[in-house]
Structure formats: structure tokens, C-alpha cells
Amino acid sequence: MARVDARRRRIIVDESGIFENQIDKHDAIEKLNSQVKKPRKARSQWGLAMLQERIEGRWLDCFRRVFALNGIGDGTQVAVLSETQSRPVLIHLSELALHDLGAAFCMIQMPTPRQTAPVPVKSTGTSWAIQGNRPVIEALKRVDVIVDCTVEGLIHAPEWPEIEDAGRARLLVVCNEHPEILERTEPTAALGPKVALGIAMLRAAREMRVTSPAGTDLVIDLTDAPCGGTPGFGTTPGAVAHWPGGLCLAFPGKNCVNGRIVMDVGDMNLTFKTTLTSRIDFTVENDFVTAIRGDGVDALHFREYMEAWNDRNAYGMSHVGWGMNPAARWVSAAMYDKRDMQAVEFRALAGSFLWSTGANQYAGRYTLGHFDLPMRNCTIALDGKIVVRDGVLQGELAV
């Protein structure tokens, strides 16, 4: 008779088996086939086939180009910093690209710290992977480039100011994205002058005002505010770049941000990696969010997450600015599973207004509670001159 070979997942029909006719034999085999468990493809929560993480030639080419754009070449002293929860394919691609470019590099891997927060911590921009380890800090101060493959990145890390002040190392954060996203948002040299112009405009301004049809009216005092940003590459000591890149930012000082922010349907909460389906209305007083209004689940989750920290700094303003990357797309959020993206692409959406709560090292505030919040359809003015109108970059900033 017919039986199932479970190890080989196939039907075996004994020649001695007796079937009255070929139809009976066919029906028996079909019945047994239906009992065999077929291998299942990996699926995301949305039922889409998940992306695979392996070395692809095109991704290695991409890493080589981006590293070269960051001034890495023969003999460049580089440290690849990662942690045990880093995305392995990014570490491997970095290693191979550095080898191909002839860099003198080392690999430093830290244990991912224990989870001590009261809620899940995602997309903070503040890596705690170094954990104050003195030998690691000293090593990073002595290289030309840190290729940062930590989960959250060192940009807001408490150790970065000391490393930066040492005057040698520059930072390239390879964001915790699937390589396909990095490939699509590969930085280009052409974006460099546009971002540099935007940063210069921020530095020259005394005030930023942000308005929107939804009701946003926010005023930021930019006096003495550190300003920066990145096109996704940097070549000078102390430069900070992240990939995906393409944004211009200011880190306001103390008591410099006041007004109202109304996030509308279609805006994004990058900590949750979600697109809003309802409005959230914020009041900001002297840098801190003092009220969060809204009846939808977006406001509900925002309030609950903030309250869980029991930390006033979580409500503080981190940075404000706008996106510059024409390769970034709002609709991309609908195309990837959450595990495939760190959502840095959406920080760089051309013409978006980006504001952030949480860590601001320039104002002396550190916290793991963090939100990055890009908004559509905003108008941004610097000292009365409009640089973004209704979500579209203006004048020389247009890309």
C-alpha cells in the first residue's frame, strides 16, 4: 500500500499494493500528499514574503562606493563597532568592503546591554552599547573613521562627545536597515552642496517658525543652537554621517522651543514605525511637551509610551529640521516589515519637517525615551524666509 516517508516528504507506493483501478491509486496518493507538510516560506505579519539577509554582490558594490565617498581608502584607520544584536549582514558587508578598499581596520563588538527600560526601546539614536568601556573609548579616539553598526547608533551616545573632542575620528553610522533599503537610498556626492547650504542657512538664522494647515504653529529660537546634518557622508575629523542620510538639523538650547504641533493623518511616528491614522495635538512650552491631545489610538499609544518612562527628559525637544533626500519615499513604509527597517529613511524625506523628543546632548539631556516624527505639508521659515512651503523644498534647496 501507499505510505508517507516523513523524512523525505514523499509518497512511496508499494508495488504489492492493490488498487482496483488507476483512479483509486491516484486518489490514494493525492490523499497522502495532502497530509505531507510542505516547507513554508518566511512571511511577515502582513503575509508578504520576507527579505533575505545574505551577501549580494550589488550590496557589496554599494558599500564600497559609500565608504569611498566617506574618504575611506588604502591605509585608512577604521574601527567597525557593533554589538551582539547588530544586523550580521551589515557587519559582514562592512568588513568585506573595507578589505577591498585596503583600509587598516579592526572589529569591535560589544555585548548588547540588558533591557532595563519599562517599555520596548526602539529607534532612539542613542546607543548604550559602549557602556563607558574605557579601552573601547580610547581605541575609537585613535582611528580615522568609526563605521558604526550598533543597533541605535552613536550620534546621541554619551561617549560620542569625548570621542569627537579628541579631534581625529569621524563617524559613519550604517543604520540598522535591510541592505535593500540602504541600496535604494545610497548617498551621492551631488546631495552634499545642498545639505551644506541648508545647514549654513540654519546657522545664520535666529528663528525657525513652522506652520501647517492642520494647525501647527511652532517657534524655535536658534540663537547659538548647534546645527548640522548629513548628506550621508563626511570626510573631515569630527564629521557625523548616517546612511540613509540627507537632512538639516538644529539642536535648540534650553527654553528655546514653544508653540503647538499638530500631527495629521499620513505623518509618521518612527519609534513605532507607523503612519498616523488620526491627529495628535501637542503643546510645547520651554522645550517640553506639556500636553498630548487626541482621541485616536496614535495619541493613546504616544501618551502611554511617554508616561511609562517617568522621566521628564523624555518629553524634551531633541532636534528640529527638514529632510533633503529625494530617494526617500513616504510610501516605502507600506512596503517593508518592521523588522526590516530602522526607519531612518523617513527622517530624510525631502521637504518634510522633522522634530524629535528625547536626548539632546547640547542641552544636557539624556534619556532612552525618544521619538522621531516627520510631518508632511509643513511650511518652514527661517527669519521669515520660507525654505519649505507645504512640504516642498524651495529655491536653491530644491532637489
- The reply to whether 52 falls in a domain is no
Pair (149, 255) in one structural domain: no
> pTM for the complete prediction?
0.83
Cell of 330: 513616504
Q: How far apart are the C-alpha atoms of 255 and 188, rounded to whole Å?
A: 37
One DSSP character per residue, 128-186 reads -SSTT-HHHHHHHTTSSEEEE-SSS-STT-TTHHHHHHTTS-EEEEE-S--HHHHHHT-
Alpha-carbon separation of residue 173 from 80, 127, 146, 304, 350 (angstroms): 10, 11, 8, 30, 20
- The reply to whether 237 falls in a domain is no
Pair (211, 320) in one structural domain: yes
Pair (174, 192) in one structural domain: no
Pair (201, 79) in one structural domain: no
Q: How far apart are the C-alpha atoms of 383 and 222, rounded to whole Å?
A: 10
Q: For position 34, what pLDDT does the model report?
A: 53
- The reply to whether 251 falls in a domain is yes
- The reply to whether 50 falls in a domain is no
Q: How far apart are the C-alpha atoms of 162 and 204, rounded to whole Å?
A: 27
- The reply to whether 296 falls in a domain is yes
Q: For position 46, what pLDDT does the model report?
A: 42
Q: For position 14, what pLDDT does the model report?
A: 41
- The reply to whether 11 falls in a domain is yes
Q: For position 276, what pLDDT does the model report?
A: 97
Pair (61, 206) in one structural domain: no
- The reply to whether 43 falls in a domain is no
> Taking Cα atoms as reference points, which of 196, 198, 215, 252 lies closest to residue 382?
198
Pair (171, 317) in one structural domain: no
Pair (10, 61) in one structural domain: no
The conformation of residue 198, written as its DSSP 8-state character, comes to H
- The reply to whether 372 falls in a domain is yes
pLDDT tens digits for the chain (399 residues)? 444 444 444 433 444 444 445 545 456 545 544 554 444 444 544 444 557 889 999 999 999 999 999 999 999 999 999 999 999 999 999 999 999 999 999 999 999 999 888 888 776 667 889 999 999 999 999 999 999 999 999 988 889 999 999 999 999 999 999 999 999 999 999 999 999 999 999 999 999 999 999 999 999 999 999 999 999 999 999 999 999 999 999 999 999 999 999 999 999 999 999 999 999 999 999 999 999 999 999 999 999 999 999 999 999 999 999 999 999 999 999 898 898 889 999 999 999 999 999 878 788 887 878 899 999 999 999 999 999 999 999 999 997
Pair (278, 360) in one structural domain: yes
Pair (158, 196) in one structural domain: no
Q: For position 106, what pLDDT does the model report?
A: 98
Alpha-carbon separation of residue 6 from 3, 9, 36 (angstroms): 9, 5, 8
The conformation of residue 397, written as its DSSP 8-state character, comes to G
Pair (282, 366) in one structural domain: yes
Domain that holds residue 18: 2-35
Specify the number of domains making up the chain: 3
Pair (219, 368) in one structural domain: yes
Q: How far apart are the C-alpha atoms of 62 and 252, rounded to whole Å?
A: 35
Q: What is the CATH number of the domain that holds 118?
A: 3.40.50.2300
Pair (328, 393) in one structural domain: yes
